[in-house]
Structure 1
Amino acid sequence: MPKGKGSSMSEGEAAAGAYERWDLVEGMESEKREQRKARKGAVPSLLTLSPERAITLLYVLLALTFVLFMALTIVTLQRVSAMWEALEQARMRSENSHTTARHNLSEAQDTLDEQLSVELKVMRGRLQNVSQEVERVWWKVAECQRECGKELADRLRVLEERDVLEPVLQQLAEARQEQSRVAALLDKALQETHNLSEIFCTRCPSGWQQFDRTCYFFSSTTKPWLAAKEFCTNFSAHLAIVDSQQENKFLANHVMENQKFWLGLTDRYREGDWQWTDGRSLSLPFWNNGEPNNVGSHGEDCATIYSNGRWNDVPCFQAEPWICERSC
């Protein structure tokens, strides 16, 4: 094949390939333009809908929106209801636990009070036995002092009457020293016996009740608060002062049903400032519900105790029974 002819065919084939690629690119560009036109024409096609169809389509969209809103609302309400039920159950469990705790605490306190009451009775019996024994010892010591003192005095008198020499005088001096020493020991023993009697005090005046080394008098007549206070003072006592729950319970147990007794508690000097007769401020109250309320034109400035252990404020001029308190 000649050289010039082969070169001419190669150029023709290259040109034909270039035309084919150009046609392919042109076809792809044409398809893209058609697609863009189709998308742009979609919106105008909605605008070309009839008013009835557009309103219908709008109603459908609104209905779908409403259904979706209601579904979300129902789900939210269900969650809120579930959370509310859980909170209510937690509150009920908390109240039940608090009620159970208060009930258990009340039962434990009652049991402890009963145990303390039994133990106090046992201790009181033991203290009475100790007091009786101490009293017997005291009388024995006093009797010994009288007898020993009499015996030593007799010996000294006999020795003094004799006209003896120096050894006898020395014995006399030693006897006197022994007498002094025995007398001092007896005085010390008597003092210690007296101190023990005060420590183990188990005796109160006739008509008085004892509790925790203290004597209490529960009157059978009535007086105004100031007159009752003066009555206690005449017996080296004072109107009852409550220092513990056990003491308040003891006083309540001796108060007759449907009666109230004066306590040594008043706010007659300054309203609302409740103080005991010894000047101490009230720190452990046992007021009844709604008390003190200071009702009436004359006010209520003096405290009383009921048989249930609760207190009430009443006018000081009323005549009520009273409770005196003193050390035994």
Structure 2
Amino acid sequence: MSQSEGAVGTYKKWDFDARMEVEKQDRRKVPKGVLSLLAFSPERAITLLYVLLALAFVLFTTLAIVNLQRVSAAWEALEQARTRSENSHATAWHNLSEVQHALDQQLSAELEVIHSRLLNVSREVENARWKMTQCKAGCGKELSDRVRVLEERDTLEPVLRQLAEVKQEQSRASALLDAALEGTRNLSEILCTSCPAGWQQFAKTCYFFSDTTKPWPSAADFCAGFNAHLAVIDSEQENKFLANHIMGNRVFWLGLTDAHKEGDWQWVDGRSLSLTFWNSGEPNNVGHHGEDCVTIYSSGHWNDATCSNSEAWICERSC
């Protein structure tokens, strides 16, 4: 072997040893876990991946179930709060309705007492007016007799002065009696003294509440037969008075209709509608034949209904 070949062999051996040393150093730098993974076969790596995915799925499912339970608990708490709120609102509304009903009954009782007193006053006024009328006739005759007697005497100056004074007295007495009679007449017109049997009185108006039912046109004809008409409501007090005389779930026809023109509500006395007490969502004119006539509930609210329906009715007339 030549010297050059020996040198080449020595160089190759040195180069192999150097590479081995570098590989050892690289292995020292790589973590043991990576080496162990690199040492796995492909089948073991896939199995490990499936296990990791299964653990991730279980963890996600657990978190989802916990969140759903929390959401369900929060929703149940909200439902309980809403139920308590609705119960409180219903209780408050019921109590308010009872208080209003009690006040309405008390007001009706007080109105009845006032009406009774007014009737007594009216009777006393009528008696006083009759007595004054009798007095006017009697006193006038007495004064006329005195004037006639004086006129028949001699026309002396003192007698003439007395005659003039008697005539002035007669004039003053007549004027006072006329004024008193006019005052009693006006008071009698203000006070309602009587309503027909079976009719209820409110202010200067009499009302009839039927026990039977009829369609709206027939009910209007019935009222006309008593020189009356279906009820026309002019104030909130009148509406409450009518509602207080309605028992249970009954409804009564009022004298309000838009049969002549849809939406143009008018009372039977020709006046247009200005004050309303419609129920919620009314009037709605539902049904094939429409709803052109109006009823009133015991709550005082109104509803439009088909005029051919058979309902009770309320008539109204002056005292």
Task: Determine the C-alpha separation between the residues in 2 that align with 1:116 and 1:98.
Answer: 27
> Structure 1 residues 98 and 151, CA, compared in 2 at 3 Å: closer, same or farther?
same
- Structure 1 partner of 2:58: 67
- Residue type matched to 1:133 in 2? E
Equivalent residue for 2:267, pick from 253, 262, 276: 276
SS of the aligned residue for 1:201 comes to coil
- Residue type matched to 1:245 in 2? N
- Structure 2 partner of 1:92: 83
- Structure 2 partner of 1:158: 149
Task: Determine the C-alpha separation between the residues in 2 that align with 1:222 and 1:53.
Answer: 92
- Structure 2 partner of 1:123: 114
Over residues 76-95 of structure 1, what are the superposed CA-to-partner deviations in whole Å (9 max), with x where a residue is unaligned? 11220121011101110111
Query: CA offset at residue 251 of structure 1?
Result: 6.1
Query: CA offset at residue 313 of structure 1?
Result: 3.5
Q: Does 1:249 align with 2:240?
A: no
> Structure 1 residues 154 and 321, CA, compared in 2 at 3 Å: closer, same or farther?
farther
* Residue pair 1:305, 1:312 contacting (<8 A) in 2 also: no
What is the number of equivalent residue pairs in this alignment? Answer: 289
Higher mean C-alpha displacement, 199-208 vs 168-177: 199-208
Over residues 203-247 of structure 1, what are the superposed CA-to-partner deviations in whole Å (9 max), with x where a residue is unaligned? 135675433321235689999866765775686643322444334
Query: Which structure has the larger Rg over C-alpha atoms?
Result: 1
Higher mean C-alpha displacement, 224-233 vs 179-188: 224-233
Over residues 122-141 of structure 1, what are the superposed CA-to-partner deviations in whole Å (9 max), with x where a residue is unaligned? 22221221111111111122
- Residue type matched to 2:177 in 1? L
Equivalent residue for 2:131, pick from 132, 140, 163: 140
SS of the aligned residue for 2:207 comes to strand
- Structure 2 partner of 1:11: none
* Residue pair 2:258, 2:292 contacting (<8 A) in 1 also: yes
Task: Determine the C-alpha separation between the residues in 2 that align with 1:294 and 1:284.
Answer: 22
Task: Determine the C-alpha separation between the residues in 2 that align with 1:180 and 1:36.
Answer: 147
* Residue pair 1:131, 1:200 contacting (<8 A) in 2 also: yes
Task: Determine the C-alpha separation between the residues in 1 that align with 2:156 and 2:26.
Answer: 160
> What TM-score, normalized by structure 2, do the two folds share?
0.72
Task: Determine the C-alpha separation between the residues in 1 that align with 2:50 and 2:65.
Answer: 22
Over residues 14-42 of structure 1, what are the superposed CA-to-partner deviations in whole Å (9 max), with x where a residue is unaligned? xxxxxxxxxxxxxxxxxxxx999855556
SS of the aligned residue for 1:104 comes to helix
- Structure 2 partner of 1:173: 164
Structure 2 unaligned spans of 5+? 1-23
Q: Does 1:103 align with 2:94?
A: yes
Task: Determine the C-alpha separation between the residues in 2 that align with 1:64 and 1:227.
Answer: 83
Task: Determine the C-alpha separation between the residues in 2 that align with 1:226 and 1:321.
Answer: 12
Higher mean C-alpha displacement, 261-270 vs 132-141: 261-270
Higher mean C-alpha displacement, 157-166 vs 231-240: 231-240
- Structure 2 partner of 1:240: 231
Task: Determine the C-alpha separation between the residues in 2 that align with 1:35 and 1:154.
Answer: 161
Quote the RMSD (CA, aligned, Å): 4.1
- Structure 1 partner of 2:16: none
> Structure 1 residues 223 and 53, CA, compared in 2 at 3 Å: closer, same or farther?
closer
- Structure 2 partner of 1:31: none
> What TM-score, normalized by structure 1, do the two folds share?
0.70
